[in-house]
Structure 1
């Protein structure tokens, strides 16, 4: 008998994981003797506050902490999340019906289409956009409609350019501001227009607000749920990973329209048992400290790193606009002084930068076709490492060994 193929066809729709691919490049560079500076994955290099870590440690020592936690999340955690949403955005939510816990926002983003869509539906997603947006659709067998995000339009989608027949088939539209990878921000006027468009076409808006606390120059990103009546047409993902340095804890929450929250909660009730109870208690402490004004905002750290790194790159001859938010720099490829042929894509340049100088970044095409010609650089090392990275990048631009 011929051996059967033990691999689902749907995996071919996912494409290769760029993060796994870059990890292989990093391994090769280390094997070649390079001291790699990793500016690829957006994993915070700082820990949570000492109090949050102590709460986590104390909770983990309790004998009763190891029960199944429940998929929805504890009433204490969801209640605190609702309290924080009101404190931060002036948005009032019912923790029993309008919130559900997540193992990080990626958990919800990866499963949402499975909970909401049927064969033949379409979902509108940004291009460039975070890879899980497309991956979640691929797993669910849902067709994406890619909304181009371009610098000349402030990296905002043009709703009027979307064909009528696409709106007719669309189940939801995904927005992400502050944005990964392009680091753009959107104001409440944009979200008001988005909600009006959603009402016109009967489409749900899914807003990924993972970087709400990582904006610079006095910017305070809004929640789409601040728009009057938005809860009838919108839901929002929030993450504790970046705002509170709890990336490894895997915790976030999903908020908004109760029917949509219920649908995702129902799906998750069949596939997982929720977030470890001590991690929920740590998240409660983090949110409480933020509301009490004793949490040190992470935005200050990344704003300082941004300014330092952008200035250092400029000194090396690579002029890059300052991002308004997030931990990322979205940089158009520099002009190489040693001359490159036109077939040098963002992926090839990213690999050669790592091979020649030991600096790891993510090629822009990993986030969609509109990302070609760019790279994403994560500000996840201390200032001395960022200065060293800028120096090495300068050598790469000049073709020095």
Structure 2
């Protein structure tokens, strides 16, 4: 009898582990590593949110088990956010559930709705949980383009015609991680129409909804009439409110999917710490200045990165949204591949990035750069990279 565990066998070695280990070892030696690899915001929530956390944590009754589905006030606050931001009406009891970050929510929804052998459509490259959440649940993944262009629907049609069994779930996320692609309402209308025709469940990851750099705000797929018949959407407070360590996210939309996720979660967790949920409610209901401040912060860093890296000899496409840039490996290093290039950047330039292959095989030839260092550090990284590139 094999002693290999079924789900562990389905997980390849974590691509980022080697780069992370090199980064840790270099820092242990006292080296200064500029970390553009992990999308880990360096800011803090608004003071009134921290004050609310402290206030509630000082209440002796607040330390008991909380509500797995999320406290009523927080679910209402999320419903109100969708109304004022997207003009979408949500029932806080049947169409909203609080998750321990969007990553946990996506993984638990995969467990709730997937049977071994199901076929799931997911973008390539994409955030790893979009695929591996379903792989862990026993599904087979069929890749679709990450870019929301004409080829997207051609590949969808092909997948529906030639997959056995027919796909049951379509996963997508815009603004996307890692590519920073964006989608508009016309595209979402076609997705909803396609899902309705083919009886597909659609999972939309909207974690970067508030980090956009143009004049047009990022839309929600739930703005499309009838979308709630087939769509559930995940959002996160991590980047929007600088709360990544708080692990606060939401799933909203289709009642059947929300019910399935809620039921699975009821077996797995008791919900986030109540003071965190109350403070998250204060973030959603209170002054929203931090959203504009964070958007301006990331836009400034994006502009500095594109300009300074370009002068250093590495042309970085300017992302329209998200807190990431998706950059082709410089031509002279293309044959190395994204992993070896990333390792050399750490060793020879003191700059950490995320190898594109960690986001799927279509990510080979690219690296992801996170806008999580201040502008001075980004310029410092550019100077180091210029020396690195000059040595070839």
Contact 1:115 1:267 in 2 (8 A): yes
Aligned match of 2:364 in 365, 372, 383?
372
The whole-number CA distance in structure 1 between the counterparts of 2:117 and 2:135 is: 13
Give structure 1 regions of 4+ aligned residues with deviation exceeding 3 angstroms: 153-158, 293-297
What displacement does 1:235 show? 0.5
The CA deviation string for residues 185-229 of structure 1, in whole angstroms up to 9 with x for no partner, is 000000000000001100011000000000102231111000000
Q: TM-score, normalised by structure 2?
A: 0.95
Contact 1:128–1:181 (CA<8 Å) still a contact in 2?
A: yes
Q: Deviations over 1:262-293 (max 9, x none)?
A: 001000100111111111111111111256x6
| Cα contact 2:119–2:168 (8 A) shared by 1 | yes
5+ residue gaps, structure 1: none
Contact kept in structure 2, 1:167 and 1:201, CA below 8 Å: no
Shift of 1:123: 0.8
Q: In 2, distance between residues paired with 1:155 and 1:201?
A: 18
Counterpart contact for 2:210–2:291, Cα < 8 Å: no
Compute the displacement of 1:28 (Å): 2.5
Name the CA distance, whole Å, in 1 between partners of 2:334 and 2:176.
Answer: 31
Q: Contact between 1:34 and 1:357, CA under 8 Å: does it hold in 2?
A: no
Q: Distance in 1 between matches of 2:324 and 2:256?
A: 34
* Number of corresponding residues: 391
Question: Per the alignment, in what secondary structure is the counterpart of residue 169 of structure 1?
Answer: coil
Q: Which residue of 1 aligns with 2:342?
A: 350
DSSP-derived class of the 2:318 partner: coil
Q: TM-score, normalised by structure 1?
A: 0.93
Cα distance in 2 for partners of 1:87, 1:290 equals 13
Shift in alpha-carbon separation, 1:156–1:308, aligned structure 2, 3 A: farther
The equivalent residue for 1:184 is 181
How far does residue 167 in structure 1 lie from its aligned partner after superposition? Answer: 8.3
* 5+ residue gaps, structure 2: none
**2: distance between equivalents of 1:300 and 1:161?**
41
For the pair 1:66 / 2:58, whether they are aligned, the reply is no
Deviation at 1:156, TM superposition (A): 5.3
Residue 159 of structure 2 contacts residue 167 of structure 2 at CA under 8 Å; is this kept in 1?
no
Where do residues 229-378 of structure 1 align in structure 2 (5 Å cutoff)?
Answer: 229-290=226-287, 296-336=292-332, 340=333, 342=335, 344-378=336-370
Q: Is the 1:149–1:370 contact (alpha carbons within 8 Å) kept by the matching residues of 2? A: no
1:82 to 75, 79, 83: 79
Give the alignment's Cα RMSD to 1 decimal. Answer: 2.0
